[in-house]
């Protein structure tokens, strides 16, 4: 983990400004969309070089859409996405992803040296005759021995397969790796090994991680900062210690109460609120959390901006007028 004050002095590697992603859903007989899914609804974020930014929230909050956007798989409907790339010429791809399930993310028909060098092959960024040597070098960095390079994914354990997936992400020497629930498909005994490996690689290669997870203990272990998402917006952003130990936004508090503080990965957190998570076709008016919020009051009928938290000595931001006003909500321990 990095020191937050040091991180703040580093240059941003990625900036998102008011990013929105809306999908048309179905068409009527005139070819017009029947409905629109509002997957991301004004994301403002800066990612600092070398940090781990944890992204947490219930299923349907927009985490996966954000990952797809960062991977370039989808385009924003509006807003800006600015990459500030490392100019190191050896970097042939700026962002890679490690998926949660190495079983399904690795092609079973390929020997692992081909899997590891897949990104280079797709980008044609290294001569073919060098691929095997590159695979051996990267495999060694994740603890896979060179004599295993001709084996196939089914010949490895779950933890080894995730090491291979990490090697594949590393082979193109990216600036940023999106970690999409990187340990949730693994046995508990293997999870810590993979998290430690990711931390070592980050230090050695100055990687920036965007860690998407339901598992608060994984986020607590890895993340420097945490962004909490709700209905396609960031509702709280700050250091992992601030957000996870002293949450200020009412949604963050309910979310943290809904998941175990320690232990195995959890399934989707189920936030205990008077109503279910609303769909993203018809967004609520005013604060998106208003119908579920135990603190809802006058003023919540207005849209809320992500503003500096009250009485915060750090860089914490909250999308709630009570927590960002002088008379704000007191901080309280989570869970």
For the chain, give the number of residues.
Answer: 335
Min CB(290)–ligand SF4 separation in Å: 4
Smaller CB separation from ligand SF4, 128 or 302: 302
22 binds ligand SF4 (CB under 6 A): no
304 binds ligand SF4 (CB under 6 A): yes
250 binds ligand SF4 (CB under 6 A): yes
290 binds ligand SF4 (CB under 6 A): yes
The residue from 4, 170, 222, 320 that contacts ligand SF4 (CB under 6 A) is 320
Smaller CB separation from ligand SF4, 160 or 331: 331
Min CB(237)–ligand SF4 separation in Å: 14
Q: At what angle do helices 158-170 and 131-141 cross, to 10 degrees?
A: 120
321 binds ligand SF4 (CB under 6 A): yes
231 binds ligand SF4 (CB under 6 A): no
Smaller CB separation from ligand SF4, 113 or 289: 289
Is beta strand 225-230 parallel, antiparallel or unpaired with respect to 208-212? unpaired
303 binds ligand SF4 (CB under 6 A): no
From 144-152, 153-161, 221-229, 292-300, span contacting ligand SF4 (CB under 6 A): 292-300
The residue from 106, 293, 306, 309 that contacts ligand SF4 (CB under 6 A) is 293
**Phi, psi at 127, each rounded to 5°:** -60, 140
From 159-167, 181-189, 260-268, 296-304, span contacting ligand SF4 (CB under 6 A): 296-304
134 binds ligand SF4 (CB under 6 A): no
From 107-115, 117-125, 156-164, 319-327, span contacting ligand SF4 (CB under 6 A): 319-327
The residue from 49, 283, 296, 334 that contacts ligand SF4 (CB under 6 A) is 296
Smaller CB separation from ligand SF4, 304 or 312: 304
Tokens of 106: 């690795």
CA nearest 69: which of 54, 84, 58, 79?
Answer: 79
The residue from 4, 61, 222, 287 that contacts ligand SF4 (CB under 6 A) is 287
300 binds ligand SF4 (CB under 6 A): yes
Min CB(285)–ligand SF4 separation in Å: 11
Using CB under 6 A as the criterion, which residues of the chain lie in contact with ligand SF4 when the complex forms?
Answer: 250, 287, 289-290, 293, 295-296, 300, 304, 320-322
């Amino acid at each position: 983990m990095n020191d937050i004050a040091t991180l703040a002095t580093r240059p941003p590697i990625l900036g998102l400004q008011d990013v929105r992603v809306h999908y048309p859903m179905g068409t009527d007989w005139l070819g017009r969309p029947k409905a629109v899914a509002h997957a991301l609804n004004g994301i403002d974020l800066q990612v600092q070089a070398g940090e781990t930014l944890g992204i947490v929230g219930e299923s349907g909050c927009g985490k996966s859409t954000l990952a797809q956007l960062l991977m370039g798989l989808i385009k924003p409907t509006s807003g800006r996405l600015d990459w500030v790339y490392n100019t190191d010429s050896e970097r042939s791809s700026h962002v890679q992803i490690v998926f949660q399930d190495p079983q399904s993310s690795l092609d079973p028909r390929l020997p692992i040296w081909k899997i590891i060098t897949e990104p280079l092959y797709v980008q044609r960024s290294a001569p073919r005759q060098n691929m095997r040597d590159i695979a051996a070098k990267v495999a060694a960095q994740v603890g896979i021995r060179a004599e295993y390079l001709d084996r196939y994914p089914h010949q490895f354990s779950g933890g080894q397969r995730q090491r291979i997936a990490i090697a594949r992400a590393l082979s193109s020497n990216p600036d940023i790796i999106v970690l999409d629930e990187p340990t949730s498909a693994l046995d508990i005994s293997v999870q810590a090994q993979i998290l430690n490996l990711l931390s070592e690689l980050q230090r050695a290669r100055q990687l920036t991680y965007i860690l998407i997870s339901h598992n608060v203990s994984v986020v607590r272990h890895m993340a420097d900062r945490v962004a909490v998402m709700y209905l396609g917006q960031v509702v709280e952003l700050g250091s992992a210690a601030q957000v996870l130990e002293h949450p200020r936004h009412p949604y963050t508090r309910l979310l943290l109460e809904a998941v175990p503080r320690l232990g195995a990965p959890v399934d989707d957190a189920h936030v205990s609120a008077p109503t279910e998570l609303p769909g993203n076709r018809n967004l609520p008016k005013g604060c998106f959390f208003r119908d579920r919020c135990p603190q809802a009051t006058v003023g919540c009928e207005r849209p809320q901006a992500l503003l500096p938290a009250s009485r915060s000595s750090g860089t914490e931001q909250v999308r709630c007028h009570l927590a960002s006003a002088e008379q704000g909500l007191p901080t309280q321990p989570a869970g």
